Amino acid sequence: MIRLFWIERIYMSAIKNYQIVSQYILDKYIEKISCGGSSNLYLNQIPKEVSLIGMLSGENQDEYLSKYDEEKLKFKSLPSIGLQFRIQENAQGIIYLNLDGNLFYREKPNFEEQLNYLHNKYKISHRDLFEFTDFVKAAKSEHPVAQIREQFVDKYRKINLKDILSDIIIYDNGNFIAEDKINQIISSRLSELMSNLQVESHMISKAQFPIQDYVDEDLYNVNLKSHSQKSFLNWSLEIKINVHNKENQNLCRVQFINRTPRLNKKIADFSHDTTLYNAGISVFSDNINFENLKLNMIKHDYIDPVSIKGLAENSSINYNQITNTLSTTNVPVFIQKRLKTNDSLDSTITFVNLINRPIESLHTILDVMRSTLASYQKDYDKDIILRKSKAYLQKEESEIESFRQEIKKFESGIELLKRKHDVLNAFLYMNKTFNHKMYQNQQTFKGWKLFQIVFIVSQLNEIVYSEYKDSPDYSSNDIDVVDLLYFPTGGGKTEAFIGCVVFTLFFDRIRGKEQGVSALIKYPLRLLSVQQLDRVLTIVVKANEFLKSLGNYNMFSLGYYVGSQNTENTIYTETAKKIESFTKEDFNNKFKVIDVCPYCGEMTIQTHFDKSNWKIIHECTTCSNQLPIYTIDDEIYRYLPSVIIGTVDKLAMLGTSPKYKLLYGDHQGFCTKHGFTTKNKCERCGTEVSPKNLKDPIYTLSIQDELHLVRESLGTFASHYESFLNYYSRSLIQKTYQKKIKYIAATATISNFEEHVLNLYSKYARSFPVNIKGKNVYSFIDEHDISRYIIGFAPYGGSMIEGIQKSVTYFRELISTLFDDPKIYEEVSKLGFEGDIKQLNDIIMKYYIEIVYHNSKSDTRELASALQNQGNNYLHSKGLNEYEISEISGDSDFKDIKSVIYRIQKEADKKLTPNLIMATSSISHGVDESSFNQIFFYGMPNNTAEYIQAYSRVGRTYPGFVMDIIRLVRDRDKSYLKNFVLFHEYKDKLVEPVPINKWAKKAIYSTIPGLFSGLLIQGYGSEFYHSKNIKDAFLDGRISKDELKKHLIHIYGCNNLPAGNEYSKVIDSEVDKIYQGIINLADGKLSISDILKLTTTIQHGPMSSLRDIDVMLEMGLS
| Model confidence at 1: pLDDT above 80 | no
Please state, as a whole number, how many other Cβ atoms lie within 10 Å of the Cβ of residue 1077: 20
Burial of 444 (0-12, 13-18, 19+ CB in 10 A): exposed
319 and 430 housed in the same domain: no
**For residues 762 and 1118, what is the distance between their CA atoms, to the nearest angstrom?**
13
- Among the candidates 439, 463, 487, a domain finishes at 463
Q: Are residues 891 and 954 in the same domain?
A: yes
In terms of domains, do 69 and 198 share one?
yes
pLDDT computed for residue 842 by the predictor: 96
pLDDT, tens digit, 9 for 90 and up, residues 773-791 = 889 999 999 999 999 999 9
Listed in sequence order, the residues at least 6 apart from 355 whose beta carbon sits closer than 8 Å to its beta carbon are 428, 431, 432, 435
Higher pLDDT, 563 or 159: 159
Same domain assignment for residues 325 and 374:
no
In a domain, 1059, yes or no: no
Q: What is the pLDDT of residue 9?
A: 54
- Same structural domain for residues 851 and 894? yes
- Check residue 858 and give its pLDDT: 78
Residues 838 and 954 reside in one and the same domain: yes
Q: Is the Cβ–Cβ distance between 1040 and 1020 less than 8 Å? A: no
Residue 548 domain-assigned (yes or no) = no
For every residue of 589-605, DSSP letters joined together read HHH----S-TTT--S-E
Residue 1117, pLDDT score: 45
- With bands split at pLDDT 50, 70 and 90, how would you rate the model's confidence at 898? confident
Q: Above 80 in pLDDT, residue 6?
A: no
- Residues 254 and 171: their CA atoms lie apart, in Å, by 12
124: in domain: yes
Q: Is 209 exposed, middle or buried (0-12, 13-18, 19+ CB in 10 A)?
A: middle
Q: Tell whether 941 and 918 lie within a shared domain.
A: yes
| Paired strand residues for 743 | 702
Split into its structural domains, the chain has a count of: 3
- pLDDT classification of 297: cutoffs 50, 70, 90: low
d(CA 305, CA 300): 8
- Look at residue 563 and tell me whether its pLDDT is greater than 80: no
Evaluate whether 991 touches 1111 at the Cβ level (below 8 Å).
Answer: no
Question: Is 727 contained in some domain?
Answer: no
Backbone phi, then psi, for 136, in 5-degree steps? Answer: -65, -45
Is 473 contained in some domain?
A: no
Q: Contact at 8 Å (CB) between 619 and 1070?
A: no
Residue 1030 is predicted with a pLDDT of: 95
669-671-676 Cα angle (round to 5): 55
Q: What is the mean pLDDT of residues 627-656?
A: 96
Secondary structure (3-state) at 123: coil
Range(s) of the domain holding residue 811:
795-965
Please report, as a single letter, which amino acid is at residue 41: L
Q: Mean pLDDT: which of 237-241, 924-928, 1059-1063 is highest? A: 237-241
CATH, residue 821: 3.40.50.300
| Mean pLDDT over the full length of the chain | 90
Q: Are strands 643-647 and 519-523 parallel, antiparallel or unpaired?
A: parallel
Assess whether 409 and 279 both reside in one domain: no
Residue 71 has pLDDT above 80, yes or no: no
The more confidently predicted of residues 914 and 988 is 914
The four Cα atoms 343, 347, 350, 356 give a dihedral, to 10 degrees, of -150
- Whether the per-residue pLDDT at 60 is higher than 70: the answer is no
pLDDT at 250 over 70: yes
pLDDT at 458: 97
Q: What is the pLDDT of residues 312-323, one digit of tens each?
A: 999 999 999 999
In a domain, 393, yes or no: yes
Specify the range with the lowest mean pLDDT, choosing from 295-299, 486-490, 738-742, 816-820.
295-299
Same domain assignment for residues 282 and 348 = no
Same domain, 284 and 430: no
Distance CA 574, CA 576 (A): 5
For residue 725, tell me if it sits in a domain.
Answer: no
Tell which of 299, 332, 365 closes a domain.
332
Same domain, 325 and 440: no
- Has residue 268 got a pLDDT over 50? yes
Tens of pLDDT, residue by residue over 865-874, are: 999 999 999 9
Residues 71-91 as b/e (b if ≥16 CB within 10 A, e otherwise) read eebeeebbbbbbbbbbbeeeb
What stretches of 702-768 show up as alpha helix (H) in DSSP?
Answer: 712-727, 753-761
Residue where a domain stops, chosen among 300, 332, 364: 332
Q: Is 1072 inside a domain boundary?
A: no
Largest CA distance in the chain: 112
Q: Are residues 397 and 326 in the same domain?
A: no
Binning pLDDT at 50, 70 and 90, where does residue 697 land?
very high
Enter the DSSP assignment of 922. Answer: G
